[in-house]
Amino acid sequence: MKMKKNIKDKMGNRRILITGGAGFIGSHVVRLFLNKYPDYKIYNLDALTYAGNLENLKDVENAPNYNFLKADINNAQEIENLFEKYRFDSVIHLAAESHVDRSITDPLAFMKTNVIGTMNLLNAAKKIWDGNWEDKLFYHISTDEVYGTLGKTGLFTEETSYDPNSPYSASKASSDHFVRAYGETYGLPYIISNCSNNYGPNQFPEKLIPLFINNIVEKKALPVYGDGKYTRDWLYVIDHAIAIDLAFHKGEIKETYNIGGFNEWQNIDLIQLLCEIMDKKLGRSQGESAKLITFVKDRPGHDKRYAIDATKINKSLGWKPSVTFEEGLELTVDWYLDNEEWLKNVTSGAYKDYYKTQYSD
């Protein structure tokens, strides 16, 4: 029989470890939990890699229930010591290497952080919780990319077989399997959610939408991979954070939830829409930004289509996206245009070297 889970009702004060909280999605999850649950102690553990930025949490960093722990999940001893010291009762695990293109140039880094880093957290939880599973939860945040690629029709459901194609998705699939295995073998209470492509404020400009916003502002080429007819299913990041909150509190142990907004876009159509919005916002003539579109060499192993069937989380937890794609994209563009300084900071230094390597020839 399934264990019913309703964490909030069972325990008033939680001590939640959120990993990767200085990153894109993690920062929105940390903010939501800090604001919504002042009784919870939130521990944001992050190594502050190129993708982590404490600026993302400037507005909440002085919250009395907030603690930042600079640590690397690849360091098993350090992670165990932190579990010992702070006695977390739950984990929301987002820390990861997250960019497919980087996984193609450095797959081992993805294996280390995404697989071994996750195992270090699992081992620490297993050791410190020591079979006292009551009110404990290891919530692993994963991606729809573990399912591989779809043809023209069909959707990924929670029953779809894993079939990862990139080193990134292979590392995430592997970490999902280890989480599940620790549940089956040792009884560790876990939940996994697999979400589609996120977009919104604070996303590092290596991913499609913020990269293209930045390039449009700077009137630089928009490098579209292959024929641009690849399809992704886009979700506003705050709607993902809301889904994580719901699954954390109301989800069932040992369950997987697919999260997505039934919002498929071919890259080229999305880019055209983004160009139109940007022309409007920047006071440029319609069609000006679209002239920057440049078809470039395709990504190796490029998955053709992702699309999530989010029926389960909708029916069982009552979740659905709160904004349409057009609304979310406009909010996102406004955020980047209002936060030039943030964009300037994250695109200085190492970003320039990355850009040169990724987009030369």
- Long-range contacts: 129-134, Cβ < 8 Å, 24+? 129/188, 131/187, 133/187, 133/188, 133/189
Which does residue 333 bind out of ligand NAD, ligand TYD, none, counting CB within 5 to 8 angstroms by kind?
Answer: none
DSSP three-state, residue 305: strand
Q: Which is nearer to ligand NAD, 31 or 292 (CB)?
A: 31
Which does residue 208 bind out of ligand NAD, ligand TYD, none, counting CB within 5 to 8 angstroms by kind?
Answer: ligand TYD
Q: Does 114 bind ligand TYD (CB under 6 A)?
A: no
Q: Does 230 bind ligand TYD (CB under 6 A)?
A: yes
Catalytic choice (72, 144, 245, 303): 144
Which does residue 117 bind out of ligand TYD, ligand NAD, none, counting CB within 5 to 8 angstroms by kind?
Answer: ligand NAD
Catalytic choice (97, 145, 264, 309): 145
Residue 101: which residues within 8 A CB-CB, separation 6 or more? Answer: 206, 299, 358
Strand extents, DSSP E, the chain: 15-19, 41-46, 66-70, 90-93, 137-143, 190-195, 197-199, 222-225, 231-236, 256-259, 264-266, 293-296
DSSP three-state, residue 182: helix
Task: Find the part of the chain contacting ligand TYD (CB under 6 A) among 129-137, 220-228, 248-256, 278-286.
Answer: 220-228
Instruction: Look up residue 202 and give its amino acid.
Output: N
**Residue given tokens 């719901």 in the structure block:** 246
80 is catalytic: no
Q: Does 241 bind ligand NAD (CB under 6 A)?
A: no
| 181 Cα distance to chain centroid | 22
144 is catalytic: yes
Q: Using CB under 6 A as the criterion, what x/- string covers residues 102-121 for binding ligand NAD?
A: -----------x---x----
Task: Find the part of the chain contacting ligand TYD (CB under 6 A) among 31-39, 67-75, 172-180, 219-227.
Answer: 219-227
What is the smallest separation between the CB atom of 204 and ligand NAD, expressed in angstroms?
5
Phi, psi of 211 (to 5 degrees): -60, -45
What is the smallest separation between the CB atom of 98 and ligand NAD, expressed in angstroms?
4
Please provide the distance, in angstroms rounded to a whole number, between the alpha carbons at the two ends of the chain: 57
Residues identified as active-site: 144-145, 168
